[in-house]
Amino acid sequence: MTALDAVAAYLPDRRVPIEDLAGRLDLAASQIKVLRRYHGLAEVRRQEPGGTVLDLLAAAASTVEGLREKAHRIRHVLYARGVPVALPYPMNPVHELRALLALDRATAFTVTHHGCATSLLAVDIAGRLLASSGEPGALALVVAGEQVFTQDPAVAADSRIFGEGAGACLVSADGPHDRVLSYVTRQRGDLDHWAADTTGLDERYVREYPKLLDEVVLAAVERAGLTLDDITLILPHNVNTVSWKRLAKRLELPVEKVLLDNVPVAGHTFAADAFLNYRTAVEHDLLHRGDRYVIAAAGFGAIFSAMVLQH
Amino acid sequence: MDKVLDAELRQRVVASIGTLLPQVLKRDLSAIPEDIRLFDELGLSSSKTLELLLALEEELGIEVDVDEIDRGDLVSIGAFADFVTQHATPL
């Protein structure tokens, strides 16, 4: 059973109020007001000018507990990326990261096309790779986090603002914690943000999103042999607060069970939200031994994913 | 339980929607009947509807509890006006 051996996260110190991004993101004052009031966004983090994606990823990965001692056991480094074009070709920091961390016995590659739900996919792939090799004690390092590089209109700031941050976790095939009890992912190709014909897509996506998110969370909980009553916490992607408050309402969960603390202070850090929110949950003492929790995310390309884990 | 609709406020909400909608949509509108559908007929998006709602707050000196809004409240101008009236607090 796939398990998260250790999880780390990093947020740059530089805080940027969303108002300061209005010009660059072509947002009117009324849109900023909607983002603040309705979507619960306030500020994001940005690296200092000149900071690289490698810096970002390394800042998270280097604080993974026990990384140095376990480096010789790491067989794979997976970079879970949210958007297809995250860096100018041919840059790919995952190989530099592998070298920087002296993970000489690891292969390094990028996982993408599940949008901001890619970190869950990467954890699943890492677990499968390790299980298939059968090597005792082998580990994989999954990293996530991006700079706000692309100007793709699909990532326009209409209901979320992207921030810079990174996460990293060590995955084992059968470790004692945190054990992955289930993973469900679904794609709705007809709602793909990058489809050839996107006429009316935004409204259809908005209309169908709640149901698709509910379904995948419930499916993951059911696949884990649990009910929602067994779930201590939901770690969401930090797209906004309103969609998660509504999910809580629809599923009749207390909204306090959804960790939304990072939405106003970090924004949406692409696929790193899962690890960032995990760290926040642990630091705020919201997860205790044996607790079952859900990590849930939706990604560009109409991907809906949920993973149930036990702390 | 829903609050009893404040008929006078609702009337002002509908009148303000008539003024603000052309600004939000950036085009002229002739008559805007209450049963006109915001998305399908007027071409409003979810985010534009929220902009309209916040513009209404400013115009009417009210604050609307937006956490409660759902898609049913955005079906038509009438439904939207009902929602705003029911969830408004004077500033």
Higher pLDDT, A308 or A155: A308
pTM of the complete model: 0.91
Side chain identity at residue A253, one-letter code: L
- Of A250, A252, A243, A254, the C-alpha closest to A296 is A243
* Closest CA–CA distance from residue A246 to any residue of chain B (Å): 8
In 3-state terms, what secondary structure has residue A107? strand
Query: Class for domain B3-90, per CATH?
Result: mainly alpha
Chain B CB contacts of A208 under 8 Å are: none
A203 vs B: CB within 8 A: yes
Task: Check if A31 contacts B (Cβ < 8 Å).
Answer: yes
Give me chain A's average pLDDT, please. 92
Among A33, A37, A202, beta carbon nearest to B45: A202
- Measured between CB atoms, which of A30, A38, A207 is closest to B55? A30
Question: What is the per-residue pLDDT for B35?
Answer: 86
User: What would the pLDDT profile of B26-47 be if each residue is shown by its tens digit?
Assistant: 888 777 888 888 887 888 887 7
Percent of chain A with pLDDT over 70: 97
Which pLDDT score, from 0 to 100, does residue A196 have? 77
Q: Closest-CA residue in chain A for B66?
A: A38
pLDDT the model gives residue A155: 59
Peptide bond into B33 cis (omega under 30): no
Please say if the pLDDT value at position A23 is more than 60.
yes
A251 touches B: beta carbon within 8 Å: no
Task: Please give the Cα distance from A202 to A183 (Å, whole number).
Answer: 27
Nearest by CB to residue B45, choosing from A33, A203, A242, is A203
- Say what the pLDDT of residue A270 is: 93
**Shortest Cα distance from A83 to chain B (angstroms)?**
23
In this predicted structure, what is the pLDDT of residue B1?
Answer: 42
Q: Which of A243, A47, A80 is nearest to A171 (CA)?
A: A80
What string of DSSP letters covers A139-197?
A: EEEEEE---S----GGG-SSS--B---EEEEEEESS-SSSEEEEEEEEE-GGG-TT-S-
| In the predicted structure, residue A58 carries a pLDDT above the cut 50 | yes
Chain B neighbors of A158, CB-CB under 8 A: 47
> What are the C-alpha distances in Å from B66 to residues A34, A48, A262, B49?
10, 35, 20, 11
- Where is pLDDT greater, at B77 or A167? A167
